[in-house]
Amino acid sequence: MATLLLIAGCSSTTEGEASPRVETSPTVATPTTPWDPCTIPDEAIERAGLNVETKESGIFGRDQNGFKICGWEDRPPNNKYYVRIFVGLESIDYIDDPGYFDRLQPVRVGTRDAVQYQQIGSDASLNCGVAFPAGPQLIRATLLTDAVDRNPPYDPCTELNSLVAALDSELPA
């Protein structure tokens, strides 16, 4: 969304005479609410390998800590993991909180520079998170392996990064 700022001033058309003029300067408005990841088209979710029938807005139907949240399971018959996308008006420094996140490392996901992380107490062989800025917003994605699957046939971070890269064109820049 762009807003125009009008500045009134004077310019001279004839020596000694002033005439009014208007100059415009574009400014970019900061969003007041985060982008909603549940607006990603179903076709894109299916192409990424997720099950559109399992879409859940929020966590138990509620957004949390100022983040818009949407999640999906992988497609049947697998149903081995759950992916959530969180979007909030935060900087990348949000995940630099050692009380919640650890094992931070830089990665490239699709066209974006990102930070891969683990939530404190999570098992890296089962779960993974990745985060990157999109303008004034922070996009985080997590992959959580089903609790009954103790030995998944995939690396959670590799799987998550592939899914997020597949959705890259649908995410805010």
CATH number at residue 160: 3.40.1000
Predicted confidence (pLDDT) at residue 55 exceeds the cutoff of 80 = yes
> Is 43 inside a domain boundary?
yes
Q: Minimal CA–CA distance to 119: which of 137, 99, 92?
A: 99
Report how many domains make up the chain.
1
Cα 27 to Cα 4, 5, 16, 112, 160: the distances in Å are 6, 7, 33, 25, 35
Q: How many angstroms separate the CA atoms of 141 and 70, rounded?
A: 10
- Among 28-32, 57-61, 82-86, the minimum mean pLDDT is found in 28-32
Q: How many angstroms separate the CA atoms of 50 and 86, rounded?
A: 16
Contacts (Cβ under 8 Å, ≥6 apart) of 14: none
Q: What is the pLDDT of residues 99-156, one digit of tens each?
A: 999 999 999 999 999 999 999 988 999 999 999 999 999 999 999 998 777 788 889 9
pLDDT of residue 8: 42
Contacts (Cβ under 8 Å, ≥6 apart) of 38: 55, 57, 68, 70
> Is 17 inside a domain boundary?
no
> Is 27 inside a domain boundary?
no
> Is 71 inside a domain boundary?
yes
> Is 65 inside a domain boundary?
yes
Tokens of 36: 């909603």
Q: Residue 59's domain spans which residues?
A: 37-170
- Tokens 């107490």 sit on residue: 121
pLDDT of residue 97: 93
> Is 31 inside a domain boundary?
no
Global model pTM greater than 0.85? no
> Is 28 inside a domain boundary?
no
> Is 84 inside a domain boundary?
yes
Contact, 6 vs 22, CB < 8 A? yes
